[in-house]
Amino acid sequence: MSFTQQMTRSAHINGSRKCLHFRARIDKYGPAFDGAQRRPPPEAKSKILFAPSNTKRRLGFTCLGVIPEKMTMRESHMKYNIIFIIMLSIFVFLRGWNTSSAQMPFNGWDEFNHVAVSYHVHLYGSMPLKSDAASIDLFPLLCAHPQPIGSYPMFADISKLYPGLVGIEGNNSPCKEWKYKIFDLYEAQHGPLFYHLLSKFVSGNRSHALLAWMDTGRLFNIILFVFTVISWHFILINIFYKYDMPILTYGGTLLFASYSIAAFNFARFSNDSLSLFFGALAIYFYVVFIKEKIKSDIPLISLFFLGLLSGIAVLSKATVIILVPTFIIAIAFESLRRRHAKGLISILAFTLGYLLITGGYHLRNYEMYGVISGMQESVINSSHGLGTIDALKLLPQLPWNIWNGDHSMTSNPIFYYLFTFIGGWSNIRNPWQLSAAFDYCIKISLGMLFFSLFIPKIRNRLLPMVYNNMELPLSIIFCTLALLYHALQSLLASGISQTGSWYGMIVLPLITAGLLLGPALFSKIISFVMFISLLIIFNYSHYQGLSDLLRNETGIYSLQGAINDVATHHVIFKYNIFVSLMAEVVFIIALSLFCAMKIFRDTHSGMYPLPPSGFAKRHEPS
C-alpha cells in the first residue's frame, strides 16, 4: 500500500457515511470534513494537524501532515498551555509583588478608607454607616508614613508629603493635630464581604501590627490577581481559540497582566480584587458550562449557581454589577435561540441565586441611602434628595465631557483616558508620547475592525464570533452605560463629570483582547505587530512610572537607594525588589516569545472550524 493510501481512512460520522481524507500533499485534498464535527472520528489512526491555509478557507478546515502517535494535537496544546500558565502565574505574582513593594502605605486609591472600614468591622463586628468616623487607633499609623499629592490635602497636619515632592507648602508639616481630625467612612456603602474577611487578620492596634495587617491585605489581593488573570486566560481560550486566532487568547491575557493600571488596582488594600476575581469566575462558569448545557436543556441548577457567583462578586464591590444585566440578557438570548419553553424560568433561577446573596445588601443600601447600588456619588446625591431622574436631566450637558473633554473617540474611560500608567494617588501620569502611541494603536485597531465589515471573507469570520458570544458585546455595552451613569452622578454631586473607569475593570481583558481582534482578522503579522507595540507601551510605561514613584516617595534619585528606603515602610514587602524586577523583565520577554510561537506556529485551532459559507450555517461551530 502506498504512503498516500495509508493516509486515507473512512469513518462513520453522526450515523451517516462520510469520507475523511488524510493527504500528505496539500494539493490532493478530498471532500471537506463536516464543519460541525470538533475532532476526527476515533477510527482514524493517524493524528492530523489543522492548518489555516487557503484550502481551509475553501473547505472549512484542512488536514496537513501527521502528528506523532505519542502526542495528539490536543495533548500538545495542553502541554504548551500549562507551560504558558505557569510562566504567566510567576510573572503576574512578581508584577503584583514589585508594584506593592514600591508603594508606600496609603498610596493605593482610597486605601486608608478601605483599611478604616475593615478595622471598624474588626472592632464592632458590623459594617459602619457612611457618617461614622475612622477609629483613632489608625492615626499613629498615618503619621508614620508620608502621603502622595493625591491624598495629602486630606491628611494635612497629620502626615508629611512625599519627600520627593519639594517646593509644595506643608511639605514638612508636623503631626500634631491628628487627634481632632475626623474622617467619614465614605466606603461604607460597599459590599461587606471583603471587609469582614480581612478583619479576621487584625492582630493588634499598634502601628507595626496594623502595618503587617495592611501588607497581608495587599498580599491576599496579589494572589487574587494571579487567579484572576489565569481565569481570564481560560475564558479567552473558550471564546476565541476556536476561531483560529490564538493571539487573542495569549496576547490578550498577557496585555491585561502587563497593563499598569491593573497591577496598581490589585496591589493595594481594597475590595476591587475580590470582586474582580469572583466576577471572572462567574464569566468562566457561564462560558464553559452554561452555554454548552443550554444547547440541549435549561440547566436551572447551574443558572442558580451562576446567580450565587454573581452575587458574591457584587457583595465584594458593586462595580461588577454590570454582570447581572449581561447574564440575564445573554441567558434569555440563548434560550430563545434554542426555542426553549423554560426561558423565563432560567432567568428566574439566575435572579433567585443572585438575590439570595445580595438581597439584604441592596435592601440595606436602599433603607439607609435611598439607592440600591454602592455608587458613592449616587449615595451623596440621594442624601440631598436627588436621584436618577435628576442625573439624567444633565445628559445634555455631557456631550463629550465623559470623553475627557476631547473629541477623540478613543480618549474615554473605556480606554482609561489613554493613560498607560496611573500610579495610585501619586498622580503620576505617563508622558504624552506614550498616550499618543496608545491612541494610534486604538484607532488603528478600531479602524481595521470597522473596515472588516465591508470585506465579505473577514466579515464572515467576525459576525459568527459576535453572534455566538453575545455576552461579549453585552458586557461592553453595559460597561459603557455604567461609566456614563457614573459620570452623570458625579456631575450632579460635584459639578464635574468624571469617572475612574472602575466599572470597566471587569471587562478590561476583553478590551485588551479586542484591541488585537481587528488586526487578527486581517493578518497574523499585523496582529503580532500590534501586540508587540502595545506590550512595549504598557511595560515601558509601568517601569518608568514605577521609577518616578519611588523617587517621589523617598526624594532619593538612586533607584537602589529608593527601593531600600521604601522597604523600611513595610513588614511583608520589606525585601529588596531589584532582583525580582529583573526576573519580571525576563518573564515578559519569555512570554512574548511564547505568544509569537503560538501566533505563527500554532495551527490546531481548526478543531472548531467555521463552515465555509452561509451565515445561517455559521450560527455556531459546535
The tens digit of pLDDT for each residue in 476-510 reads 999 999 998 998 898 898 887 777 788 899 999 99
pLDDT of 373 > 90? The answer is no
Phi, psi of 51 (to 5 degrees): -120, 130
Most confident segment among 217-226, 459-468, 483-492:
217-226
Q: Residue 400: what pLDDT?
A: 58
Residue 553 CA to its chain's centroid (Å)? 28
> Given CA atoms 84, 87, 90, 92 in this order, what sign does their dihedral have?
negative
Longest CA–CA separation in the chain, Å? 94
Answer whether 0.75 is exceeded by the pTM: yes
Q: Which residues pair with 63 in a beta bridge?
A: 50
- 524-554 and 432-451 helices, crossing angle to 10°: 160
Q: How far is it, in rounded angstroms, from Cα 549 to Cα 556? A: 11
Range with the poorest average pLDDT among 153-157, 160-164, 225-229, 311-315? 153-157
Q: What is the residue-averaged pLDDT of the chain?
A: 82
Asked if 569 and 141 count as a contact pair (C-beta separation under 8 A), the reply is no
Q: How far is it, in rounded angstroms, from Cα 231 to Cα 285? A: 10
Q: Which of 281, 375, 343, 334 minimizes the C-alpha distance to 469? A: 334
User: What is the number of other CB atoms lying within 10 angstroms of the CB of residue 24?
Assistant: 13
Q: Which of 478, 532, 423, 456 minimizes the C-alpha distance to 102? A: 423
Residue 408 neighbours by CB under 8 Å, 6+ apart: 439
Q: Residue 374: what pLDDT?
A: 80
Q: Which residues pair with 10 in a beta bridge?
A: 19
Which helix (H) or strand (E) segment is 112 a member of? Answer: helix 111-124
Q: How far is it, in rounded angstroms, from Cα 199 to Cα 426? A: 27
By 3-state DSSP, what share of the chain in percent is helix, strand and coil, each rounded to 5? 65, 5, 30
CA trace torsion 555, 220, 206, 566 (10° rounding): -10
DSSP state string for 454-522: GSHHHHHHHHHHHHT-THHHHHHHHHHHHHHHHHHHHHHHHS-----SGGGGGGHHHHHHHHHHHHHHH
Q: What is the mean pLDDT of residues 333-338?
A: 81
Q: Residue 172: what pLDDT?
A: 55
By CB atoms closer than 10 A (0-12, 13-18, 19+), residue 65 is middle
Q: What is the mean pLDDT of residues 220-228?
A: 98
Q: How far is it, in rounded angstroms, from Cα 81 to Cα 52? A: 20
Q: Residue 76: what pLDDT?
A: 53
Q: Which residues pair with 67 in a beta bridge?
A: 47
Q: How far is it, in rounded angstroms, from Cα 502 to Cα 494? A: 18
